[in-house]
Amino acid sequence: MKKQYHLNNDERGFFLPYVMVLSTIILIFVANTIYIYENELEISSNLIDQITYETQYEMAIAKLLRERPFEQTNEGMEAYNLPNGKTDVFYTKENERLQVKVQVYGEDDYMYPFHRTIHLRGDITKE
């Protein structure tokens, strides 16, 4: 009678490779989830900053149109200290058009520029 090979019949270590592969897959999944979460935190922070700067920009434009300094001079600069930071507005009036350049300063003292052309017609302001 032939002697049977011992490794083929012994099933005590049979599940170890499966456990190792499954553990590796779970570890990769958890590491990937943590990486995605960190990216989502950074994206959320950037989005909040962008909304803050756009809000400052809109507040500066609204204040400029409310105060209407362009009716006395054709070009000039207005500096506004808004709740979220400092904003400089440079304007040039040409006929019925108002060229506006807004510089919004963030918390990191970086300047974010915005440009806009506003069409002025009587009391109605259109973009």
Q: Are 87 and 79 in contact (CB under 8 A)?
A: yes
* Euclidean distance between the first and the last CA atom of the chain, given in angstroms as a whole number: 97
pTM here is 0.72
Q: How many CB atoms lie within 10 A of CB 104?
A: 25
| Of 120, 123, 85, 121, nearest in space to 102 by CA | 85
Q: Tokens 């909304």, residue?
A: 51
Determine the pLDDT at residue 110. Answer: 87
Q: Are 104 and 85 in contact (CB under 8 A)?
A: yes
Q: Tokens 């500096």, residue?
A: 79
pLDDT digits (tens, 9 = 90+) for 11-26: 666 778 888 999 999 9
Residues of the chain where predicted confidence (pLDDT) is lower than 50: none
Domain boundary assignment for the chain: 6-126
Per residue, what are the HEC states of 37-55? HHHHHHHHHHHHHHHHHHH
Determine the pLDDT at residue 120. Answer: 83
> What is the sign, positive or negative, of the torsion defined by CA atoms of 7, 10, 12, 14?
positive
Q: Which tokens in the block code for residue 82?
A: 């808004």
